[in-house]
Amino acid sequence: MSAAAGFAEVSAWIFDLDNTLYPEHVNLFKQVDERMRAYVGRLLDVQPDEAHRIQKDYYRRYGTTLRGLMIEHEISPDAFLEYVHDIDHSPVQPDPALGTAISALPGEKYIFTNGSVSHAEAVARRLGIVDHFDDIFDIVAAEHLPKPFNATYRKFIDRFGIDPAKSAMFEDLPRNLEVPHELGMRTVLVVPRGTREVFREDWELAGDADLHVEYVTDDLARFLEKVARR
């Protein structure tokens, strides 16, 4: 599928935040992960290894550690989000190429994250791209029901009145692209630099094993530049 065929009708560009708008090797989310573990350990009075096990168990079963803690322990989501996103954002460096590529896309642009608005804004400011987005849809707007739940995508769609058939979703987690694909969005998986398979063409479809992943890129800015040009 060519870029022209795949993205010519797209008027809503939807981006995940962590490990999508900035490269995974920046390792920013490691700080969030460590603070979640510390929060769980303090809340439940358990050692780090046990806190890690519980944290990851909740993530797998409930979609986010936060949702697991809310269901299992009735915690305050606001306090949790404030604590885990109180991190050093300085590892994220400005990305002028990404800013230029996003600004050249026709239509509206959104950040859609399982994190908080404050975290998304801090990252986008560091990248120098915060002014290129029309809005941010965070875990609070989703009423703490995270991606990949179908209802959360529908809530996003309803809030902004977008047409899924004229939308594109960019994510670093394949499972978060399943519902967008079912809804008719173009889906793009963003992988760590150097790990993308070498396809015959830049716009080659992903393998049969992941049919909900239509495109794969390890260079988001370059991918968007090609989309905008075509």
Exposed (0-12), middle (13-18) or buried (19+): which is 47, by Cβ within 10 Å? exposed
What is the spatial distance between Cα 66 and Cα 42, in angstroms, rounded to a whole number? 14
CATH number at residue 173: 3.40.50.1000
Question: What is the per-residue pLDDT for 152?
Answer: 98
Q: Enter the pTM of the model.
A: 0.90
| 12-15, strands of its sheet edge to edge | 135-137, 108-112, 12-15, 167-171, 186-190, 215-217
The answer to whether the peptide bond before residue 180 is cis (omega within 30 degrees of 0) is no
What is the spatial distance between Cα 223 and Cα 8, in angstroms, rounded to a whole number? 14
Q: Taking the chain (230 residues) in consecutive chunks of 10 residues, what is each chunk's mean pLDDT?
A: 71 97 92 96 97 94 94 95 96 97 97 97 97 98 96 98 97 93 95 62 44 90 90
Helix/strand/coil for 137 = strand
Q: Which domain holds residue 73?
A: 28-84
Q: Do 105 and 206 belong to one domain?
A: yes
Q: Do 98 and 173 belong to one domain?
A: yes
Question: What is the per-residue pLDDT for 211?
Answer: 80
Nearest CA-CA partner of 15 in 132, 169, 218: 169
Question: What is the per-residue pLDDT for 195?
Answer: 72
Question: What is the per-residue pLDDT for 230?
Answer: 73
Question: What is the per-residue pLDDT for 205?
Answer: 38
CATH number at residue 78: 1.10.150.450
Report the number of distinct structural domains present in the chain: 2
